[in-house]
Amino acid sequence: MIRKTRLFTPGPTPLLPAAQFAMAAADIHHRTAEFRALYERVLGQLKTFVGTKNDVLLLASSGTGAMEAAVSNLTSPGDRVLVLTAGKFGERWEALAKAFGCAVDVVSAPYGETFAAEQIKAALKAETKAVFVQATESSTAVRHDVAGIAKLLKSAGSEALLVVDAITGLGTTKLDVDGWGVDVIIGGSQKAVMIPPGLAYLSLSDRAWKAAETSKNPRYYFDLRKERKNAQKGESSYTPAVALIAALGASLDWIAAQGGGDLAAGRDALVENAETCAAMTRAAVQALGLRLFGPGPYAAAATAVLPPEGVDSGVVVKELKSRFAAIVTNGQGDMKGKLFRIAHIGLFDYMDTIGILGALEQVAAVRLKLPGFAWGKAVAAAQQVYAERTGVQTAELVHA
């Protein structure tokens, strides 16, 4: 049969056609009224998408650029910071904080798990200047409890800034940025907003801006003070990624349309969509006889699945690609060969989800010796979850 290439990866994610068209048409200079109108509109939309009253800044970089900007702008060499890590992206926080000379305390949880509140409480010091964490750890498909961590910092009377890498969290999990007291939140273009890689965005609370004013780190390209000053005039400090910004505007318009023209409602619908795709996938792989990686709490950004004992997860990745042109990801680093990940961030619908699970059954039938294998088990489990989550009365349909 012919094969259509489809990404099931936690970034880059499938592209939104409306955004692709907007990119192709974005033949404008950045020091013009036309661009300023676009930039101001998109920065305003991003505030709603992120869910904050604070300014959102856009950077021409991958997501890691905004992570680096958070570290370099909020800390000074020698500052004590706390990194919460349970995967490859948590480790990136640790490496970044060390690169900028912070005195780094680390709370870690095994891959596939999350932190205990007592661990965090015990590691928090009076002088802890910032706490760095992921909303969802894409390498293990685990969701961290950002609300709980924010609450814990408050109840401990900590002055530490809470910096959240929500690069795969935004658009896949509920985040009340201002309500919870998140000081910095970071997103990336190649995730839930369904456009190519190359843009990062972040917002800072008033407290975080104060820290940015007093940081002793040298800053140039990622000087957020300068970027904010320019953004308030509808400008970026350097040549912005004009085409990606046009794409982002189209994407945020599309997301708003999912909420009947209300962007916050559209974002919530996108989160609910990811949660449904993830719940369908979790039920399906377990019905097939596969196990999820770790005990959870599971993220809706992606689902991490263990291959059967004695099988390298690369076999599943390779078979899905060679038979069906479906691109899923292997484990990262030490997890390579031990798990595979199916993403649900952004533009995944019912058809995509049922399709990848049907394809997984095909692969299982020939390559995974699962006891009790029978056709349709995974797909049926996913269909049932879909029916339950979307309010279809299964029993009524069956017995009508």
Which residues of the shown chain bind ligand PLP in the complex (CB under 6 A)? 10-11, 62-64, 89, 134, 138, 165, 167-168, 188, 197
The answer to whether 301 and 344 have CB atoms below 8 angstroms apart is yes
Q: Which tokens in the block code for residue 151?
A: 């609450």
CA angle, 397 as apex, 395 and 400 as ends, to 5°? 100
- Residue least distant from ligand PLP (Cβ): 63
Q: Residue 257: how many CB atoms within 10 A of its CB?
A: 14
Which run of H or E residues covers position 92? Answer: helix 88-99
Using the minimum distance from each CB to ligand PLP, give the nearer residue, 133 or 368: 133
Spatial distance between the Cα atoms of 47 and 53, rounded to a whole number of angstroms? 7
Q: How far is the CB of 44 from ligand PLP (least distance, A)?
A: 24
Using the minimum distance from each CB to ligand PLP, give the nearer residue, 144 or 377: 144
Q: How far is the CB of 271 from ligand PLP (least distance, A)?
A: 16
Using the minimum distance from each CB to ligand PLP, give the nearer residue, 11 or 308: 11
Using the minimum distance from each CB to ligand PLP, give the nearer residue, 166 or 354: 166
Place of tokens 């814990």: 152
Q: How far is the CB of 273 from ligand PLP (least distance, A)?
A: 18
Q: Residue 60: how many CB atoms within 10 A of its CB?
A: 19
Q: How far is the CB of 28 from ligand PLP (least distance, A)?
A: 25
Q: Of 140, 373, 382, give the one whose Cα is nearest residue 282.
A: 382
Q: How far is the CB of 183 from ligand PLP (least distance, A)?
A: 17
Spatial distance between the Cα atoms of 148 and 57, rounded to a whole number of angstroms? 26
Q: How far is the CB of 277 from ligand PLP (least distance, A)?
A: 17
Using the minimum distance from each CB to ligand PLP, give the nearer residue, 134 or 236: 134
Alpha-carbon distance values, 166 to 105, 116, 184, 285 (Å): 21, 20, 10, 26
Using the minimum distance from each CB to ligand PLP, give the nearer residue, 241 or 287: 241
287 backbone φψ class: left, alpha, beta (φ>0; ψ -120 to 50): alpha
